[in-house]
Structure 1
């Protein structure tokens, strides 16, 4: 008995026609022609405004930057909400962090003004 007769020959895929690549190798449909030079890269949406708002908010809280960095972060976060809809989460977090930092600066300023006004009667005592 022959060993080749017991096992059938494996089925082979048809050879690609000229100008076509195998479907599994390049991810093309079997009848689609293979193009070795792809078109331009797809355009990705910008992330600069939302990311800068988030970074300014984080750095303002952890590094204690001035009053102007959270204001700039708040403005860029609001601009990112309308210009970068795919980047909405970063923009919202940037707005929240910058608003918290601005509120902290405002409360600190009110505290200094309140303490200053409370100490005014004692300032004229000689």
Structure 2
């Protein structure tokens, strides 16, 4: 560009003085989501849908976000513990209902 007197304005070189080009921060959305769902499912006693969603996002985070592997693994562990606990409680409830129905004819003797 030139000014009115015909002098050319100095142009700054991009990324002068040895500075590197700015890079985007790595995304950690899936691993944070998995960890948050794992913590929330334990704190709020969410037993089925949230742990499954947390497990799925944790496994996806392991494959897509290798820089946040620790958060993804913790999310998977927390969600798996909560889901396993829910399955154990459901099985015990079914066994209890079965035993109750088995002794139902004897309740009226």
What is the root-mean-square deviation in Å for CA atoms of aligned residues?
A: 2.7
Deviation at 1:33, TM superposition (A): 4.5
Instruction: Tell me the equivalent position of 1:110.
Output: 91
CA distance in 1, matches of 2:21, 2:83: 43
Deviation at 1:34, TM superposition (A): 4.7
Instruction: Tell me the equivalent position of 1:69.
Output: 50
Call closer, same or farther: CA 1:33–1:100 in 2, change over 3 Å: closer
- What secondary structure sits across from 1:124 in the alignment? helix
- What secondary structure sits across from 1:69 in the alignment? helix
CA distance in 2, matches of 1:40, 1:63: 44
TM-score (norm 2): 0.77
Alignment gaps of 5+ in structure 2: 1-9
Higher helix share: 2
CA distance in 1, matches of 2:96, 2:84: 18
- Which of these two proteins has the greater Rg computed from alpha carbons? 1
Q: Which runs of 4+ in 1 moved over 4 A?
A: 32-35
Q: Could you list the per-position Cα deviations for residues 2-44 of structure 1 after superposition, in whole angstroms to 9, with x for gaps in the alignment?
A: xxxxxxxxxxxxxxxx989xxxxxxxxxxx9559xx8863112
Higher RCO (Cα < 8 Å, 6 or more apart): 2
Please point out which of 28, 44, 47 is paired with 1:47.
Answer: 28
Check the 8 A contact 1:19/1:33 in 2, yes or no. no
